[in-house]
Amino acid sequence: MRVAPPILLSEQERTELETLAAAGSASRVAQRARIILLAASGEQNKTIAPKLGIGRAQVARWRERYAQAGVAGIVNDLPRGAPPVKVDVARLVALAGERQPGVAQPWSTRRLAAELGVSAASVSRHWRAAGLAGTAVSAPMQAQVAAVAEVADPAVQPQCADAGTDSAPPAPAGRGAWQVASDKVLPPRGARQLMPREALMARLLEARRQRCVVIQGQAGSGKTSTLMAWRKSMLQLGYDVCWLTLAPEDNEPARFFECVLASIAEVDAAAVREAALLGAGACDDAAIELWVITLVQALARRRRDLVLMIDDLHHVAEPRILQALQWLLDYAPATLHLALSSRSALVLSQERLRLQGTLAEFDMRDLRFTPQESERFLREQLGSVDSGVAATLHALTDGWVAGLQLYALDLRTRGGATPAPPMVPAEVRDARAFASYFEREVLVRMQPDDLDMLMRVAVCQRFCAPLCAAILGDARPLPQIQARLCRLVADNLFISAVGSHDHETWYRIHPLLRETLLNRLAAHGAGQAHGLRALHATAWRWFEARGEIGDAVFHAVRAGDVDAAAGLVQGCAQALLERGELVQLGGLLRALPLEEVRRRFGLHVVLAYMQLYSRDFDALRDSLDRMEAGPHALRPCERYSVRLLRAGLAVQLDNHDEAAALLPELWQPPPDADDFAWHARGNVVSWLLTMRGDYDLARQVLDQANVRAPAPRSGQLGRCIQAISLAREGRLKDACRLMREVMEEAERFGAAYAGLACMAACLLADALYELNETEAACQLLEPRLGLLERVSLPEVVLRACVVLSGSHWLAGRRPQALACLERLQAYAGRYGLDRLQAEALAQRLRRHLQQGETERANVALEQVQALAARCASGGPLRAASTAAVAARARLEMALYTRDYAVAVERARQLAEARAGTEAVGAAGLRLQMALARLGLGQARAARRDFLAAMRQGHRLGLTRTLLDAAGGSPQALAPLAHAGVEGEGDDGHEDPVLAFYIRRLLAEPGTADALPPPARPRQPAPGLGIGALSEREREILELLAQAMSNKKIARVLNVSAETVKWHLKNIYAKLGVAGRGGAAARLRDLAASASAAAVAG
């Protein structure tokens, strides 16, 4: 068995190989270097081959060559078997123009091959490249052969000289008019292709009929790989595609024209025959234009579309070549398409093409990977990678393909194909690899003064021309510095312009190049500690003078003046907090050391509010404890701020008991309280009063805060609380109007007010749902629910989930409705919100009952009751709220099972508990009481409660509350509506307004899964009383009337669930009912009849 030679690398050899590997995915040498690096890490050939997408034999071959000859063994291309074939083209053409000695026939291909000592295929290939078909030279073609011979003979070929310089050296003997290296006219081979990018490729394919396609991007951005992928797709669509890769030596007219002709000859040699003859002439403008026209006319005679792809066009700067390209663009026929890729901006006039709509341009915005593409690329390279690591690497590389590839190579060579989740990307960064890449591809292209400028401004995350002048101490005019920056951007040297709201043009350096420049700066005298601090101090003063606080703080900290940085933050923190600029404020706080923030009470309070808004409750508790346990006693104003924060934390955790306990301390702020404290106090206190039912007092508290000073963000939150009080009071129209105003204003303020806009939208959706505009409510809530969970109060999230679930349910979208309830339960569980958990279970119970899933409803009821029992030992408000939810759940279960006596008692207790607090809920309870009394046969009392509920609903403008209380169906109200004269008043006369309201309510659409209306008491059929049931059936019926599930009945009676089902089927048949509710109701009816008969007897 053949054993692969081991590869052992020194530090110098590893550095050299990593530099070669960073040359780009299109380089064959780069791939060979990757093979050696992986082999040096201990991997076998069979594992290296699939990682790089090549064959095992190719891996073994380059591994052996490196073991034998070192780096030279992989850099130099060795022949594959036989020595390379060299054909003397001049002699070939000369022989083809002569007769064979003593033979009448002209030279055949085989005889020419024998004479030249090459194969017949080599002769044919070079003959076709000369534009002459056939295997022999006929007499009519002698003139053409002579012309080709003249071109091939360097002795008679005129050289193209630059003006004012000596003639260029003659071309090597034996080279034809377009005989260039094959690797220039064919796409790079042997390298792994870039992963598919469907969106980019779709745009390129859309541009396939354009006159010109320009792909411009920085080094390593995937331009060549993108062109290769597009070429493959174009070939599949039937296009003829020519390829040309340029190099610095091609920046000479005659050489460039040879390359272009050789590229086109690969597809159609006849099309370049005439241009080849002209290419040997003079190189003045007239001759070049004639050459272009001749080539264009020949290509115009073709029927098939031809795409000429020229890669690395930035190597060309010769004016005559650029002029030839310009003419080629201007004169190109409809069947010719040019695709040009370059690192720098093209020095070509493209305005005409833009106006004609025949130019397609792609730049770094198109070539840069998205976060998803970066993660997919890393997974393809490494097999698996943590999503967080992939996101960090994307941010570090800014979606730069070569940077991602360098990271992947570093991980593979270190054996980290599957990095651990806690890995920090900085640990896998190889600064030498990046530095060598940038040195080779970027920094060498810069002028020394440009490089010095970039090294110094690299201390800034962004910069502009005036800032460059300040850091450099340069007295030159700003337009000159601006022109230098524009040139660097146009040359795609990893410097890009960024958006800004001021009149300056701002720039940023690619993160990896910036790090390389900082390392380079550190190696110079200016990079010493005092030098770096001086640069940061200059930038700090410049930004501070312009009012750019964020950048000023960044540089002040790095200049070593943390106290000044903290002073800058403290000076603007309160204003940013009041305006809701939380993102900017958070960035400023993170720029400071945490101990410095805690040392200043004002900054610590601001940090605590940030923790409250971001729902980082553990960190908030820690901050409050630290402030109260500080070394110095808190002043009254400071103590009041801490109490406000604790109350806000209690409200966010739905802990109304703790918040109510703090209410007396919050009622009167200290005399030196600032406006922010007054507004915070107004919002917290008014919310607690609203939840308690003191709506007028809550609005008075808000008015007190608004009188002091305007605060847009706090004021809008106060208006939201005011709208909630109006809605709970039953003033829905006023609440809708107010919420619409708040939502529109918040949306105009932008991202800082997005949370308030979502809160207002939720409250507006709640009001629309009440008016039975369920689809409008759904459209408002669906896109905002995620943000609401992150920024809003628990009560608002509860209403949003309930309304959205109800809207989906009414529209027949059952899975989405139940998913909303699951989301509410997950939210409640995440923060330990018992009341919201109970509300979610109560909503589930209702949905199970509407679908006839009694057993699941029983499970939900048991969970609600267990939750209420657990909360009974807590605070009184917490216990009362969860007990009320459990009582509502038992009421709905009693109505479903037709246990109307229990339902009446539950409704009465709930109505007494809510007296004077929530008018909307009271109307629904009154209607449910009417339904229960109708089921008991108390028609007059039911009618009285029904009319009272209708009057209250009409006064408040209710629709959905009454329909949901009736089980979701207007038909459940029909027996009550027709029990007497429709809409009659207390004096027996008809109330036409109330009658109209009832008719509109009955005409509202319901849901297909609505609960059945309550049945009137029925007398048992003769001979089918309780006595018709067996003893076991009687036991099961009594347990069923207690709302037990089949499984629970089976456990009580020690039988199987199937036995219980079989008995229930017999019970239903004997009693003449259709289900569990009817059976339980029949049992109560029969028991009541038996008791009445006993009393009468």
Q: Specify the pLDDT at position 26.
A: 47
Distance CA 582, CA 576 (A): 7
Q: What's the CATH code of the domain at 515?
A: 1.10.10
Distance CA 786, CA 792 (A): 10
* Residue ending a domain, choose from 75, 98, 122: 75
Domain membership of residue 137 as a residue range: 89-152
Task: Please state whether beta strands 336-342 and 306-311 pair in parallel, antiparallel, or not at all (unpaired).
Answer: parallel
Instruction: Go through 710-734 and write b for each residue having 16 or more CB atoms within 10 A of its CB, e for each that does not.
Output: ebbbbbbbbbbbbbbbbbbbbbbee
Q: Give the range with max mean pLDDT: 27-36, 327-336, 430-439.
A: 327-336
Dihedral in degrees, nearest 10, Cα atoms 715, 721, 722, 728: 170
Residues 52, 100: one domain? Answer: no
Residues 420, 448: one domain? Answer: no
Amino acid at 385: V
DSSP letter, residue 243: E
- Tell whether 475 is covered by a domain: yes
Q: Specify the pLDDT at position 158.
A: 34
pLDDT at 870 over 80: yes
Query: From edge to edge, which strands make up the β-sheet containing 306-311?
Result: 240-245, 306-311, 336-342, 212-216, 359-362
State the average pLDDT over residues 827-846: 91
Q: Specify the pLDDT at position 327.
A: 92
State the average pLDDT over residues 363-391: 85
Q: Specify the pLDDT at position 177.
A: 41
Residues 327, 219: one domain? Answer: yes
Q: Which residue has the higher pLDDT, 521 or 1082?
A: 521
Give per-residue pLDDT as tens, 294-348: 999 999 998 889 999 999 898 898 999 999 999 999 999 999 999 999 988 888 8
Q: Is 7 left (phi over 0), alpha (psi -120 to 50) or beta?
A: beta
- Tell whether 626 is covered by a domain: no
State the average pLDDT over residues 510-530: 75
- Tell whether 829 is covered by a domain: no
- Confidence band of 146 (pLDDT split at 50, 70, 90): very low
Q: Specify the pLDDT at position 269.
A: 86
State the average pLDDT over residues 134-163: 38
- Sequence-ordered list of residues with C-beta below 8 angstroms from that of 236, at least 6 positions apart, any chain: none
Q: Specify the pLDDT at position 337.
A: 94
Give per-residue pLDDT as tens, 235-250: 888 889 999 989 888 8
User: 401-410, 438-447, 501-510: which range is least confident on average?
Assistant: 401-410
- Tell whether 192 is covered by a domain: yes
Q: Specify the pLDDT at position 804.
A: 92
The dihedrals phi and psi of 593, each to the nearest 5 degrees, come to -60, 140
Distance of CA 219 to the CA centre of its chain: 27
Q: Specify the pLDDT at position 740.
A: 86
Q: Specify the pLDDT at position 819.
A: 92
- Confidence band of 1025 (pLDDT split at 50, 70, 90): low
- Tell whether 496 is covered by a domain: yes
Count structural domains, the chain.
Answer: 7
- Confidence band of 232 (pLDDT split at 50, 70, 90): confident
- Confidence band of 352 (pLDDT split at 50, 70, 90): confident
Exposure on the CB side of residue 387, measured as CA atoms within 13 A: 1
pLDDT at 230 over 60: yes
Distance CA 115, CA 95 (A): 9
Q: Specify the pLDDT at position 607.
A: 92
Instruction: Go through 882-892 and write b for each residue having 16 or more CB atoms within 10 A of its CB, e for each that does not.
Output: bbbbbbbbbbb
pLDDT at 381 over 80: no
CA angle 1029, 1033, 1039 (to 5 degrees): 125
pLDDT at 575 over 60: yes
Q: Read out DSSP for 963-984?
A: HHHTTT-GGGGHHHHTSSSTTB
pLDDT at 858 over 70: yes
pLDDT at 53 over 80: no
Q: Specify the pLDDT at position 165.
A: 36
The dihedrals phi and psi of 133, each to the nearest 5 degrees, come to -85, 165
Residues 953, 1049: one domain? Answer: no
State the average pLDDT over residues 1019-1032: 61
State the average pLDDT over residues 910-935: 77
- Tell whether 478 is covered by a domain: yes
Residues 347, 212: one domain? Answer: yes
Q: Which residue has the tokens 């000073």?
A: 709
Residues 994, 1048: one domain? Answer: no
Q: What's the CATH code of the domain at 1053?
A: 1.10.10.10
Amino acid at 886: A
Q: Specify the pLDDT at position 421.
A: 38
Give per-residue pLDDT as tens, 954-1001: 888 888 888 888 877 777 777 777 754 444 554 445 678 888 888 888
Query: Taking Cα atoms as reference points, which of 1002, 994, 1016 lies closest to residue 1078?
Result: 1016
- Confidence band of 733 (pLDDT split at 50, 70, 90): confident
* Residue ending a domain, choose from 75, 98, 115: 75
State the average pLDDT over residues 633-654: 89
Residues 919, 990: one domain? Answer: yes
Distance CA 684, CA 687 (A): 5
User: Helices (H), strands (E): how many in the chain?
Assistant: 57, 7
Strand partners, 338: 212, 308
pLDDT at 576 over 90: no
Q: Specify the pLDDT at position 1007.
A: 55
Is 772 in contact with 960 (CB distance < 8 Å)? yes
pLDDT at 280 over 50: no
Q: Specify the pLDDT at position 128.
A: 60
Q: Specify the pLDDT at position 1027.
A: 67
Three-state SS at 360: strand
Average confidence score pLDDT of the chain? 79
Give per-residue pLDDT as tens, 1036-1057: 888 888 878 888 888 778 787 8
pLDDT at 140 over 50: no
Q: 185 vs 262, 327, 887, CA distance in Å?
A: 7, 22, 83
DSSP letter, residue 526: G
- Tell whether 538 is covered by a domain: yes
Residues 202, 331: one domain? Answer: yes
Residues 538, 469: one domain? Answer: yes
User: 616-620, 650-654, 1037-1041: which range is least confident on average?
Assistant: 1037-1041
Residues 1056, 970: one domain? Answer: no
Residues 417, 451: one domain? Answer: no
- Confidence band of 147 (pLDDT split at 50, 70, 90): very low
- Confidence band of 1021 (pLDDT split at 50, 70, 90): very low
Distance CA 821, CA 839 (A): 9
Residues 233, 105: one domain? Answer: no
Distance CA 560, CA 552 (A): 12
Q: Which residue has the tokens 């790079």?
A: 188
Question: What does the block give as tokens for 935?
Answer: 């089921």
* Residue ending a domain, choose from 995, 1017, 1039: 1017
Is 689 in contact with 660 (CB distance < 8 Å)? no
Give per-residue pLDDT as tens, 902-914: 888 888 888 777 6
Task: Please state whether beta strands 212-216 and 359-362 pair in parallel, antiparallel, or not at all (unpaired).
Answer: parallel
Amino acid at 1072: G
Task: Please state whether beta strands 359-362 and 495-498 pair in parallel, antiparallel, or not at all (unpaired).
Answer: unpaired
- Tell whether 601 is covered by a domain: no
Give the number of other CB atoms < 10 A from CB of residue 363.
16
Amino acid at 888: R
- Confidence band of 90 (pLDDT split at 50, 70, 90): low
Q: Which residue has the higher pLDDT, 15 or 454?
A: 454
